[in-house]
Structure 1
Amino acid sequence: MALSISRKQRLTAAVIISSIFFVVELLVVFETRSLALLADSFHYINDIIGFVVALSAIHLSERTRVPRRLSFGWQRASLLGAFFNGVFLLALGLSIFLQSIERFVSLQTVQNAEHVFIMGCVGLGLNILCVLVLHESHRHDVSGDRAHSEDDAEAMGSGQTRRLTNDGVCTPLTIRSEAAPHANHRHNLASASPQPASRDLGMLGVMLHVAGDALNNLGVTVAALVIWKTESPVRYYADPSVGVFIAVVILVTAVPLVRKSGEILLQSTPPDVNPDDVVHDLEKIPGVQSVRELRIWRLDQRETVASLHLSVEDEALCMFMEKAKTASECLHAYGIHTSTIQPEVLPCMATELPAPSGSGTSGSSSILAGSTDHERARNACQLQCRGCQLGPGSVCCR
């Protein structure tokens, strides 16, 4: 029977291994004065911080009781940890790069290069072990997410059997199955094959740390061999050269992590979702006149959230739940599984519209007459706050 080890246990083991090796490596740095080994040891400090941040994020995300001020709980804790992890890596890479350039200008000898070689080999072996352990956990998590996505796709397929009526009369006899509600929607143009699940940026950041360390240890080993086995006076340049290599590796691995996690923290729209396509599909739903205040953002690397206002005619309000179900199916097809849909009831013909405040009409209203006025009513904001200044700078209606 296979031994099951949780992510928390794997990260705990990685913290212990990295801490022990960091102390030993730092002692060897004081003896040998190797910049490459010093850069690798400082990278281990950042790794330990990254492991602790990821471990704390997992612990917080598993807590059942959360403060009331956190409406989504600790769901973004791992994402926040990944962002700070990447920022730490950027600062560390820049610092090591500057130190390496300084070492090129004022070259220093490396003593006991064989000790540096031994530490590089030991560190390489430990990092390969950590990569295998953490990658196994990461692979299991992604497989679980993919299975969840396939279940959602199956549920979506069964949900598309609903049909809507074009009538606005609220009686069961008028509900007819004339056409599929998603027949002309753009999400039907997308491939039916399930998209690969997004990776956990928290665990991805940890794996980038460990993989970068493995490359660093390989560079330290090569530099130690050059200094140890050659007699050329320029052999000591191998040490700062490896330092520059380590700095570049750190920066290359940190930039994508900071960019991806930063975009999600800024509540960006998923790259595979076009808001214009979403609006197009929602406005194709029978009875929906327009879509307002559409907001699509990623809560974390797995969950996408949306909020919107659906403008419907007054006589079709009683059928709003059917329209909301169809709208939810559209959003589901775009990978948006958490949504808030708010109705906006458009005034019927010959219904008075409130005049915008500050327009000089002293609260007078105009009666809609003809298609032009009806179109103006359709495009008017239906949910303005009392006393809110409407127009381009309005906070309520954009």
Structure 2
Amino acid sequence: MHGRDRHLHTHEGKHAPHHHAHDGKRAPHQQHTPHRHGHGHHDHHDHHSLARAGNKKGLTIALAITSVIMLLEFVGGLVTNSLALLSDSGHMLSDAGSLALSLAAIGMAAKAASPGKTFGYHRFEILAALLNGATLFLVAGFIMWEAYGRLFDPPAVASGSMVLVAAIGLMANLASAWFLMRQGDVKDNLNVKSAYLHVLGDALGSVGAIAAGLLMYAFGWYIADPIISAAVSLLILKSAWGLMSRTVHVLMEGAPDSADPEAVKRELERIDGVQDVHDLHIWTITSGLDSLTCHMRIGEETDGQRVLQQALALVEERFGIRHCAIQVESTDICHAETNI
């Protein structure tokens, strides 16, 4: 970068926002191509700390409940000879591991950034969500394989005991889901959402086990056990596919749903004095933390500092992007660089 650099830093915390402008001179041979850069660095430490604490509490409660019910369904499945209960206990075993992984991811994300990892360890949460989605695929595949094996020769099942155990499991799963919704961010945090989907998958498994138990108890249809188990696994696969699609989109540096690049470009170009916006990049670092970089070309008489402030305010207020770096270039500077 050459000539005079202006850096605009905005901080948002418990105090009112304030701005700092710094001007510094470069060496004489560099003064022919000045640029202005704006970096929006908003300090949301308190907000993220509170969100992380809530997510951690919700996951811890859900992990405790899941572990207890997993053991109950496993023993109940062995005693009643129910595939639905055994498959659900296996699903809950993967859920317990997924919840533990999500808790570990929250701890990793809290680690400070380092020179080698300038964004810190936030992406570990996305990796945990991806792994959780993959385990859902494996569990669903195992259930379908076992269901196929029992389809042509369904064994007798102690349906009454099966319904009782499944009902207890359902209540526990709903309690886990409630705590995650109450304490955690299941809407926007992919890591917590992946754990939430695992818990909902458990609840579906329990509903399926109850339905199969009632059909077997009333009509002696033991084939209902593998059929309903396979149907529940298909629902689990659907949720897993949606989760993995979102995590892969983040890992591929895709733009967040809340900020369409074309819409952002149009809005920035509407700022008075802006002639062109180029080299625009928008991506998600982790759930709730989006970034933006771009270059903005302005007219010769346009106040670059004013444009910077308006641009930073616009991308935060309209698109929720709080981490951005914008370089403002004057038209006369671009002509000078072209002729050099």
TM norm. shorter chain > 0.5: yes
8 Å contact from structure 1 (residues 39, 246) kept in 2:
no
List structure 1 segments (4+ residues) > 6 angstroms apart after TM superposition. Answer: none
Secondary structure of the 2:286 match is coil
1:298 and 2:287 aligned: no
8 Å contact from structure 2 (residues 57, 183) kept in 1:
no
Secondary structure of the 2:257 match is coil
CA distance in 2, matches of 1:349, 1:239: 71
Give matches, 1:111-150, under 5 Å.
Answer: 111-138=157-184, 141=185
More strand by share: 2
2:31 counterpart residue number: none
CA distance in 2, matches of 1:238, 1:41: 18
1:224 counterpart residue number: 213
CA distance in 2, matches of 1:91, 1:247: 10
Residue of structure 2 aligned with 1:341, choices 326, 333, 339: 326
Instruction: Write out per-residue CA displacement over residues 304-330 of structure 1, whole angstroms, 9 at most, x where no aligned residue.
Output: 2110112346x558x322221122233
Q: CA deviation at 1:274?
A: 3.3
Describe the shift of the 1:70–1:351 C-alpha distance in structure 2 as closer, same or farther (beyond 3 A): closer
1:84 counterpart residue number: 131
8 Å contact from structure 2 (residues 66, 176) kept in 1:
no
Instruction: Write out per-residue CA displacement over residues 19-49 of structure 1, whole angstroms, 9 at most, x where no aligned residue.
Output: 2322332233334332211211111012112
8 Å contact from structure 2 (residues 73, 166) kept in 1:
no
Describe the shift of the 1:346–1:240 C-alpha distance in structure 2 as closer, same or farther (beyond 3 A): same
CA distance in 2, matches of 1:218, 1:131: 15
CA distance in 1, matches of 2:96, 2:262: 44
8 Å contact from structure 1 (residues 131, 211) kept in 2:
yes
Q: CA deviation at 1:104?
A: 1.3
2:67 counterpart residue number: 19
Secondary structure of the 1:297 match is strand
Describe the shift of the 1:350–1:280 C-alpha distance in structure 2 as closer, same or farther (beyond 3 A): closer
Give matches, 1:55-204, under 5 Å.
Answer: 55-63=103-111, 65-105=112-152, 107-138=153-184, 141=185, 199-204=188-193
CA distance in 1, matches of 2:171, 2:106: 27
Query: For the aligned residues, what is the CA RMSD?
Result: 2.7
Opposite residue 49 of structure 1, the aligned amino acid is G
Q: CA deviation at 1:350?
A: 8.2
Opposite residue 323 of structure 1, the aligned amino acid is V
Opposite residue 205 of structure 1, the aligned amino acid is S
Which structure 2 segments of 5+ residues have no match? Answer: 1-52
1:42 counterpart residue number: 90
CA distance in 1, matches of 2:234, 2:244: 15
Larger Rg: 1
Opposite residue 299 of structure 1, the aligned amino acid is I
Describe the shift of the 1:351–1:41 C-alpha distance in structure 2 as closer, same or farther (beyond 3 A): closer
Describe the shift of the 1:334–1:14 C-alpha distance in structure 2 as closer, same or farther (beyond 3 A): closer
8 Å contact from structure 1 (residues 81, 202) kept in 2:
yes
CA distance in 1, matches of 2:93, 2:119: 31
1:250 counterpart residue number: 236
Q: CA deviation at 1:66?
A: 4.0
Describe the shift of the 1:126–1:311 C-alpha distance in structure 2 as closer, same or farther (beyond 3 A): same
CA distance in 1, matches of 2:276, 2:334: 17
1:326 and 2:315 aligned: no
Opposite residue 250 of structure 2, the aligned amino acid is I
Secondary structure of the 2:193 match is helix
CA distance in 1, matches of 2:70, 2:115: 40
Question: So what's the TM-score if we normalise by structure 2?
Answer: 0.74
Instruction: Write out per-residue CA displacement over residues 66-89 of structure 1, whole angstroms, 9 at most, x where no aligned residue.
Output: 443222212233233222211211
1:282 counterpart residue number: 268
Question: What is the identity percentage for the equivalent residue pairs of Structure 1 and Structure 2?
Answer: 27
